[in-house]
Each structure stands twice: as C-alpha cells, then as structure tokens.
Structure 1
C-alpha cells in the first residue's frame, strides 16, 4: 500500500509538471503568435513543438494524431514550430488532448527528441495563410536544360584552379564560389568595373545564353557569372543585388537539386518559391529591385507534399506542406554589369538615387542634435509599433546581469524601448525611460513603470540606482562628446558600488562568420593618437581619433582633436546595405516598415518625411537610423575617460561590444580633468 502511495505521488508530480509545461506552451503561443487557446474541448487543437519550423515532418505528425481518430485537416504553417489539427469528432480531439500531451517523438535525420503539447482552439487561422503569388517580375522556367546539358555544365567547373587565380576567388565559409567576367565583391555587394577577370564567361555557357536571349528572358547578353555550390544545410542571407552594379534582368540556373528560395517584400510579406532542378529563375522589375531574396541555411525545405504543380509558392496549399531533404545544389547566376546610374521606380532602396539625400557627418553640437532628431528620434517614433513587434526575446547575458543583482535592487533601463527587460525579475524594482512616446505607451500597456526623457539628461537624483542598463542606445549618438556625456549620465545615476551594463553595435559583427574587411584594413593601418594627422583623415575618411585615444590625454585636447577630424569629414553618411559587412563606422541603417504597422503621423510629419529618403513611388516606407558602430576596444577606452568607474568586464555578445562598469566609492564622477 505504501509503495502504491509513493507511485501515486510520483505520478501526480509528473502530471503536474506536464500541466505546467502545457500552460507555458499555451502562454507562449498567445504572447508571440496571437494564438488563443480555450479550456473546453473543441474539434481543433494547436500542437506546440510539432511543426515544420522545428523539424517535424507532415507524415510523422499525421502518424501520431491519426491514432486518436479521423483527422479532417492538418495545417502546418511554413517555418513555424507548431501545427493545427482538426478531428471529425470532438471526442477524438479530446482523446488526443488527454493521451498525446507530453508525447516525445524523435526527429527524422537529426535523432533529436521533441515533446508535443496540445491545447484546444476555437479557430484555426486558415484565412490568415492564403495562397501566395509569385513576386511581380519573377519567372521560373522549368527544364531549361536537359539532364545531359546539366551534367556537362557541372563537369565543366574546375574547383581546383581557385588557388592559381590572382583575384583570390577562394571558397566562402558557407559555400564554394567562382566568378567569371568580373569578381563579385561580397564586402560591398558590387563589382570593380575597371578590373575585368581574364577569359570572360566560359564558352560552355554560350548556348544557354543564346537560348535565353531568343526566348526573351534577357535583353542583353550577361558579362558576369557567379557559380555557387551549396551543400545541404548551407544558404545565403537575404539581399537585393545592388541596383547600381547590375542591369535589370538577373537569371539563375539551378543544377543538381531543387531548392526553396525565400523572397521578402519590405512590408514583411514573405513568399517561399520552389526552384526545381534544371529550372531558370528570372528576376526583373519589382522582384529584382524591391524584394530581398535568400536561401535559409537548413537541411530540409518546406515543400508541397504532392508534386502536381512544382513551380509555385510553397504556401499555395497550406494543408499540403511537408519537409524535403536537401541535396547538393549548384547555381549559375548571370548578370549584366551596369555602366550608368540606376533610374528604377524604387528610389527609396536604390543606391543610385538616394545618395544625394543622405545627411553629412555632423561637425558641431547643433548639427549632431539635428541629425539625431531626424534620423533617430523621429524614426523610432515612426516605426515604434513595428519595432516593438520584433523585440520580445531578452538576450541571455543581459538577463544574467539583471538576475545577478541583489533582491530589491533599483534598476534603471535608459533607452528601454518596449520594455522587454523591465519584467525580467520580480525581485528587482525596475523602471525605464526612452525618447519615443509611442514606445513608452507600449510599456504602459504592459504595466511597466516608464517615462519619456533623453539619455543625455535623465530626471532622477544622482546615486539613486543600484544598477543601470543601456542596451543598443549609445551608438545612436553622433559625436564622441555626446557618447561620453551619455556614459557620464548613466554613472551619475549609480550609487557608489553600483553597476552599469552597456551594449553598442560592433563594427566587427560577423556576416557569414567572416570578420569585416573594414576591420582587417583598420587593424592593419591603426595608428596611435600621436601619429594621427589630418592627411591620414583625408585619406581614410574615417574618424580614427575616436577609437585611438590615449587614456591619459587631456580631455580638452581630446575634444579638440575630434572636432578637427570631424571638420575634415564633409562626405555624406553612407547608407548601409543590410546583411553586408560595415564599410564605415558612421552610417545610416535602413528599416523597412511592415505594412499595417505605420504610426499615424501629424500633418507636418508624413511617414515619408520620417523615413528621411522614402519616396511616393515606394509601396512602403523606408526609414534610416543613424549609427556609430564601435570598433573593438573603443567602448572600453571611452569608459576609461571617466575617473569614477572601474571597467569590470568587457566582452562581445549578439553582434555588440559590451562593458560592465562599477562606480567607485567616494570619488566625484565626471570626465578626467
């Protein structure tokens, strides 16, 4: 009897734990996906952890749920870690809910286990996942080449000759690549028109290109070819081929295997397009100039379970999706190098048409303030709702810092955005502040304590906080003096012994796990402040004195030198191309506002005004945010300008340089005198 009692207790604990995890899954689905579960039985269930997004195939999931009764429909949304199942009877749905909750299944191929959690739902969002049409200007021509022609093309590639090519066309870490005609530069997504490669395009491509010209797929014969070889699991980040680099039509031949290529509109609309083996992809017009395209690194693609019609968006029938194991694929991408500026109908994303509207680097405090008002404050106010929808997962090391503080600590999040760190620990008294009124309203809706203010002047008593955090804020200040002043303000709020955590964007963000080429060049030519000269500034175009300060240098002298350097920089701020390495420390970073997320602007400030360079021709607003991206050691060196702090830790995390500062006891705070 005693043994039975112990077994019953263990069973009860197991059921209780399962129930807790089920409720957690229910809460997560509602919070992040808006899926509302109900506590009473219905015919439909949502299955957490059982989706295409985490490697569960359609066949595998059907085998599990069909054990409980007749399945009327199984909906597996693309790239989501959950699914919906609808049974013919409520009794069968209830049986699945009771018997399958907590069921562990092994993922095909990977050997990893996942646990399924079932919850009842009233509504299955079929209507939210309507069929997706091809992006305008996109064409797919099946079987452009025969199997024999495919074999000849693949055999013509000599990967072994890469080492002898003087242009150093070595393989990328994520795939093998070769260039012909002109070398494609991955550091700036462009080509050097004055340095053509010897030999031109391979002769074996002539028949293929003649066929494309005859059929009208291209208007001019291409003069640049990039061959990529993708192993299963490899991909390429989303991008738009640089407008100024190439003419309209871009064609790509898929050899060896099929692949799903993801296209994304600036408003957030996504289309996964199946490219069959031996098919030709033709991009022109809107699909070429406005939509990003890329291949997600993964070993399985989401495809139609039935192959009645291959060339379509993979969401054409959302009730018929499954996983398809990838094989080695080789692509031949042909382009025509452009010799004149692009004059397309999408100026908001066109590098040829937006250069004249970019602001200059600020040379004084007044210009810096105006730049930040237009390209930071107004932008975040305009994108606040969309921005908040993308910021819901706290970074682990920030959470670790907060949870390491003593119980009852007073914590200020300066530049808190939507407040995602304000609710991390109930043992802390946390409050936030930010320049965006809309983001503060969002914090208020979540029940957080937050107010509007500037990070340069926080209306709190000195020494009133046990800790402060500043996550991705200081890089928005456009001069070294203003960045230093923001750090001073953070430290002013701390009591003696208090700590501050600061994150800023890193120049050395890893793109395709390759360090920035700019970083390598910068390190190779780095000079000390004493060696710094105006001639060097003119030559490099970069304000190196901001990241090469001597800790003991007089601050007035330090400011003067920075000002002199700034006065020499009259160039326009470059607009960064997303998913590429940074080419400058001071730049504008585009934000494509998702359709339906626009904040209502007053009559004096339209969305296009807030965007800085959006145009009436553009179907959605493009905003540009100012950033100063920090080089390695720059943030730590700037912190050492304060005589009241100790740099307790310095590290790299999530594409950011980070420091933890500790305020020293009984020492007046401020810059070194």
Structure 2
C-alpha cells in the first residue's frame, strides 16, 4: 500500500490517524531507515529531494536493474539508478523533486517479485545524495587473460554433446558425482582433497581426440605454451559453485586454462592481502591463468543463482567494475567448464616461495622479526590453513562454551553484537534476542555461515569492516592467539574496542600456556588419558576438545615461558627429528602440555570431508594431509596486561576456563 500523501516524515505521524495496516507499514519504513543509517551510514531526510534510497530494491537481494527501472519510471523521468554491488538497496534520482515525491507516495510499501520469484516490499526514503562504500578502481590480476569467442557456437554444441554423463560413476574412467556438481577427469584424476594428482597413476586413454585440433590451434595462436595432459570437466547447476583455491604448485605447470560453455559466470579472484576482483567469464570464453594469478591468487565461484554483471553491451568480459550506474543481475544457467593442465614433473621454482609447496619444504618457518614477516607467517600458517581445513574444522565445532553462552544471554534484548573470528558461526544464533554479525578471515568458513543463513562477512581481525562505536558487545573466541607479535595482538584487542560504543563490553578467549591450573588438568590434557597406549591416535587426532579447538601442546620451562625454544624442524608432511636453531618454531605434540609459547599446532585432516565428497562415501576415510597452524599461547596475566595497555578500557573480569585465559572488558 502507499504511504499517506500528507505524511513526509514517518517519525511524526501524530496528526494523521492511521489504520492497523498503515501503522505496520510505517514501522517497517522507520526500521529500514534506521538499519540503513546504522549499518551503511546512509542518512535520510524528512523533506522532499530529487533522490531516494530504495530499501529491498538492490542487487544484493536479487532485484535486477531491468526489473526495477519500469517500476520507478511509472512515477516520473528517472535521471539515474545507482545499484551498488551486493547491497540490498539502490538509489534513484528523478529529474524533479515532485517526481521523487510521487515515487515516495506511490511506491512506498509496493510489493514486487524478485528474480527468484520471491515477493519483497520496497521502502523508500529521501536522501540528499547517493552514498555508499566505494570499491575503488581494480585491475585484472597479473597474468590473467580472458579470450572471448574462442570457439564457435557450432563447436560449443559438439563439445558439450561429446561429454557422456550417463556412464557409470564407478567405471574408473575418472567420472565422479559430487555433492554440488558432476565432474569427469581425463589424463589424470584431480583430487579435490589436496588439489593434486597422482602422477604415477594416469587414467587410460588420455585426453579425448576431439580436443587435438583445438589444442593445436591454441598452441599456434599463443594462448597456451604447453600441450595439456590433464583435463577436468565440471558441470555446474545454477546456484552451485566451487570453494576458493589455488591449484597445487608442485602438481601442474604455470599455465592453467579453462573454457566456459553453456552459460556465463563470475569467478572471484582474491589476493592474500584481501583484495577481491570479480571477473566475468562469458559463454565460449577461455580463461588463461599464468604467473601471479596462477600461483598467488585464489579463484573460486560463489554459490548463487544470480551474478552482478555490467548492464551495457560491449563490457561483458573481464573485470566487473564498480560503476554502480551500469550494474545489473544475470541469471545463471547450466555451465560446463573444461579445465586443462600440464602435469609438472619437476619441483616448482616460482617466485612465490611463501605459498609454494615445493619451496616451503626447504624453508622452515621462523619466529617473525618484523611486521612483514609476521604477516607472511600468519598468511601461510593461519589464513591458508583455515581455508584448507574449513569443512573438517567446522564439523568439529558444534558445542558452544557455557560461559560464552552466559555472556551472550546476559546482554539486553536488541543488542548489536559482533563476533570477530566467528568461524562456522556457532555463537551467532545463541540468543535470538540479539542482532549478531560474524566476521572471519576465512572465506570458506564465512561461506558455511551463509549456508546456515547466518549474518557473516569476510574480514581481518586487524581491520574489521564494521562501523566504529556502533556495537553493544563483541566476542573474540580463540582468535588473538593466531597473531604472531605482541604488537599485532594488542592491535587486534584495540580493534574490538574501536567497534564498541561507550559502555559496550567485549569477551576475549585465548589458549592458555597452563593446561594444568590449580592442580586440575584441562579437558585437552584429560583427553590424552583415553589414548594412552595408542600412540598413533595421539599423533593423528584431528578433532580437539571445544576449548582448544584442535591443538597439540608441550609443557614447559615455567621459569622462562616466553622464550622460543629449540624445536623440531618443520618440513613437508610434519617434522623431522633434527634440531634447529632457537629461531625455528616448534611443532607441538597433540594432547600434551605446551613447552613453548610460540609454536605450530598440527591439524590432521582425515580423508576428504568437504562438499565435493563422492556420493555414497562412508565415514571411514583414509588419512588426510597434515597442516600446521601458528599459535601464541598466553601465560597467566598476559592477556589481562595486554588489555590494560588499551586506552578507554576497564577490565571487568579475568578468569581461566578449561585451558583458556579469558577477559571481559568495557569501553569507558
């Protein structure tokens, strides 16, 4: 229904008698206004202007430009429609304020159907000007190229028909039925659990003959430099995707190319520093990844049924720009990708040793001596690891800590709460009376939150992408101990304080050096009793108790707990028995006491618990790869002392909880 024409500011309705339906509508309009201000910084005004913000009418909730423009044009001449990417709102500017006023009166409360067939209601408010958070100028990742119309539509039809999806799944020809898509392998089977191949087990038959002439043409035209010997065919239904990943360096040569047939798609490329570049891959286009784009940037496809794309013709390939006047939605169709690789026979010697599995074997990590080294250490031994183990990690994180639950349930109804380092979001739905938003550095863990319909976004604990001074409470559970210098740990605590409003509180949990406290052993150590006499279980266990997540400690010299001690040399697949210098980080032994404050904790991923597990797989998986996560475990009083260095902070409580040191602080 439309708002009363005599009412401009919906906060002041006392002079107008409203019926029950109108009152409900006005409450929602006011709520939309307050939500936009609180979470997006968009300020509305109570008088007519040429510009309106349209809540619920955005790309982020599946409303396309072509769908919204006809609705808006019924009220007047639209001068501009600005649709920020991934936002559930848009801005419309009319030629005159009178036309904008007509839209405000006519369209407020109007029900439309989005591109998924769901009914939504538009709420409009006047603004002085359009405002949103700019994406900034972006460029394609170095070494990335998109070649349009690489084959004809006739060849596309022939190639799609050449893939026989009716063959038996278990006929050992490289065909798999995965949870989110169908896949076939030729030449070598691609193993999704480690993004690698078994070079000693080629598949019979090699690549299909139909590709010979096409590959020769690509070689001749310079699009590829090596003739591939491995092909993976993936068929994606609308709404499906693939997690962000980097194809293992040691497995394949520099060049990886992928042909998109059947439907266009947007693929997201992400730099380790957090920069994300969405790239449009048109139908019948070839994606070529070499150099930095191949070795350093992750690539993946977000599971969704619509992509944000350029609306104008002639800008349909390559980077999706931040031109909010030229963005719309594109409905996904069935897409089949043909990805070609050349199996590498020698170790990789690329220019990115910190993320190269061939070169990491030769370079054991050391304690960082600069901010740059600290960032690199965390990138390799925290960020990358959690992306790799996200599914398995999530499967072991399901029981909330009672005292964290108590903290959340004691907050007033309607409180805004930020969970910084939310993981799989197990705390986000604890108290339904709170409005909680999660943030995590792992894109794959945030994806799990979103699958569970939880509010979560990707962000770093040192630069949380949330508004300052707006949050009633924050929680940071098992996050700060992943930062490798005292300065970075304090900066993470200060970031929590930045988010809080005056009077707001934060709860912080970190792993404790003291796994035996007041003559009581933590649950983590008690678990070891059940494993005595089973050494292989002690060293291969992957699922830690909820207190420590998944760790493996060493007890130590209580006289000098802060010293980085001599340690096991970190090599591929675990550690050797050789001793290295004091600068090298020790590898912890699971279910034992900690011997050093700074160490690497193994995570043994069992089999392939991820989304792409073959249909019918059993729980008895083969042993999986071992990953090492960096930790700084806190001594008694260390967390509290770090909190006391912060400005405008009062420590309300400090306590020990099953192998964790915990602090409740308040912003003053």
- Specify whether residues 98 and 273 from structure 1 end up closer, same or farther in structure 2 by C-alpha distance, changes over 3 A only: same
CA distance in 2: counterparts of 1:342 and 1:560, whole angstroms: 30
Query: Which of residues 428, 438, 441 is equivalent to 2:494?
Result: 441
CA distance in 2: counterparts of 1:179 and 1:33, whole angstroms: 45
Query: Which of residues 278, 303, 307 is equivalent to 1:297?
Result: 303
Q: Which residue of 1 aligns with 2:40?
A: 33
Query: Which of residues 72, 82, 85 is equivalent to 1:78?
Result: 85
Alignment of 1:267-306 (within 5 A): 267-306=273-312
Q: Which residue of 1 aligns with 2:29?
A: 22
Matched, 1:349 2:355: yes
Q: Which residue of 1 aligns with 2:171?
A: 165
Per mean C-alpha deviation after superposition, the further-off stretch among 416-425 and 230-239 is 416-425
Matched, 1:94 2:113: no
CA deviations over 1:585-628 (Å, ceiling 9, x no partner): 863289xxxxxxxxxxxxxxxxxxxxxxxxxxxxxxxxxxxxxx
Q: Which residue of 1 aligns with 2:68?
A: 61
C-alpha deviation, 1:317, in angstroms: 4.5
- Contact 1:431-1:449 at 8 Å conserved across structures: no
Q: Which residue of 2 aligns with 1:588?
A: 629
Query: Which of residues 218, 224, 230 is equivalent to 1:224?
Result: 230
- Contact 1:22-1:117 at 8 Å conserved across structures: yes
Matched, 1:239 2:245: yes
C-alpha deviation, 1:13, in angstroms: 4.6
Structure 2: gaps spanning 5 or more residues:
1-14, 384-397, 436-471, 481-488, 547-553, 556-587, 611-622, 632-656, 661-668
CA deviations over 1:191-223 (Å, ceiling 9, x no partner): 122222122111111111111111111111111
CA distance in 1: counterparts of 2:347 and 2:124, whole angstroms: 56
Per mean C-alpha deviation after superposition, the further-off stretch among 319-328 and 581-590 is 581-590
Alignment of 1:435-584 (within 5 A): 436-445=489-498, 446-447=500-501, 473=509, 482=515, 529=531, 532-533=534-535, 536=536, 541-543=539-541, 562-563=591-592, 573=602, 581=610, 583=624
Q: Which residue of 2 aligns with 1:142?
A: 148
C-alpha deviation, 1:260, in angstroms: 2.1
CA deviations over 1:483-539 (Å, ceiling 9, x no partner): x75998999xxxxxxxxxxxx9xxxxxxxxxxxxxxxxxxxxx99635513xx36xx
- Contact 2:603-2:626 at 8 Å conserved across structures: no
C-alpha deviation, 1:300, in angstroms: 2.3
- Contact 1:259-1:276 at 8 Å conserved across structures: yes
Q: Which residue of 2 aligns with 1:666?
A: none
- Specify whether residues 195 and 114 from structure 1 end up closer, same or farther in structure 2 by C-alpha distance, changes over 3 A only: same
CA deviations over 1:224-275 (Å, ceiling 9, x no partner): 1100011222211222222222111111111122222222333333333222
Q: Which residue of 1 aligns with 2:341?
A: 335
- Contact 1:258-1:275 at 8 Å conserved across structures: yes
CA distance in 2: counterparts of 1:487 and 1:404, whole angstroms: 30
Matched, 1:197 2:203: yes
C-alpha deviation, 1:359, in angstroms: 5.0
- Specify whether residues 488 and 25 from structure 1 end up closer, same or farther in structure 2 by C-alpha distance, changes over 3 A only: farther
- Specify whether residues 396 and 541 from structure 1 end up closer, same or farther in structure 2 by C-alpha distance, changes over 3 A only: closer
Query: Which of residues 263, 272, 277 is equivalent to 1:266?
Result: 272
C-alpha deviation, 1:417, in angstroms: 7.5
CA distance in 1: counterparts of 2:284 and 2:52, whole angstroms: 40
C-alpha deviation, 1:444, in angstroms: 3.9
CA distance in 2: counterparts of 1:237 and 1:112, whole angstroms: 27
CA distance in 2: counterparts of 1:117 and 1:131, whole angstroms: 31
- Contact 1:43-1:89 at 8 Å conserved across structures: yes
CA distance in 2: counterparts of 1:20 and 1:72, whole angstroms: 29
C-alpha deviation, 1:357, in angstroms: 4.7
- Specify whether residues 354 and 331 from structure 1 end up closer, same or farther in structure 2 by C-alpha distance, changes over 3 A only: same
- Contact 1:144-1:279 at 8 Å conserved across structures: yes
Q: Secondary structure at the match of 1:529?
A: coil
Q: Secondary structure at the match of 1:438?
A: helix
C-alpha deviation, 1:334, in angstroms: 0.2
- Specify whether residues 264 and 401 from structure 1 end up closer, same or farther in structure 2 by C-alpha distance, changes over 3 A only: same
- Specify whether residues 560 and 98 from structure 1 end up closer, same or farther in structure 2 by C-alpha distance, changes over 3 A only: closer
- Contact 2:174-2:203 at 8 Å conserved across structures: no
Per mean C-alpha deviation after superposition, the further-off stretch among 9-18 and 163-172 is 9-18
Q: Secondary structure at the match of 1:159?
A: coil
CA deviations over 1:46-103 (Å, ceiling 9, x no partner): 2121111211111221122112211111111222211111111122223323332222
RMSD value, Cα: 5.2
Alignment of 1:635-646 (within 5 A): none
- Contact 2:600-2:629 at 8 Å conserved across structures: no
TM norm structure 1? 0.60
- Specify whether residues 286 and 121 from structure 1 end up closer, same or farther in structure 2 by C-alpha distance, changes over 3 A only: farther
Q: Secondary structure at the match of 1:336?
A: strand
CA deviations over 1:446-493 (Å, ceiling 9, x no partner): 2355799xxxxxxxxxxxxxxxx77xx46x56x8x63x75998999xx
- Specify whether residues 159 and 334 from structure 1 end up closer, same or farther in structure 2 by C-alpha distance, changes over 3 A only: same
Alignment of 1:610-649 (within 5 A): none
Per mean C-alpha deviation after superposition, the further-off stretch among 400-409 and 30-39 is 400-409
C-alpha deviation, 1:571, in angstroms: 9.2
- Specify whether residues 287 and 320 from structure 1 end up closer, same or farther in structure 2 by C-alpha distance, changes over 3 A only: same
CA distance in 2: counterparts of 1:318 and 1:408, whole angstroms: 38
Q: Which residue of 2 aligns with 1:209?
A: 215
Q: Which residue of 2 aligns with 1:43?
A: 50
- Contact 1:39-1:120 at 8 Å conserved across structures: yes
- Contact 1:41-1:93 at 8 Å conserved across structures: yes
Per mean C-alpha deviation after superposition, the further-off stretch among 10-19 and 280-289 is 10-19
- Specify whether residues 155 and 566 from structure 1 end up closer, same or farther in structure 2 by C-alpha distance, changes over 3 A only: farther
Q: Secondary structure at the match of 1:261?
A: strand
Structure 1: gaps spanning 5 or more residues:
1-7, 361-366, 385-394, 453-468, 492-503, 505-525, 549-555, 591-637, 643-673
TM norm structure 2? 0.61
Higher percent of residues as strand: 2
Q: Which residue of 1 aligns with 2:119?
A: 113
C-alpha deviation, 1:307, in angstroms: 2.4
Higher percent of residues as helix: 1
- Contact 2:474-2:496 at 8 Å conserved across structures: no
CA distance in 2: counterparts of 1:277 and 1:314, whole angstroms: 16
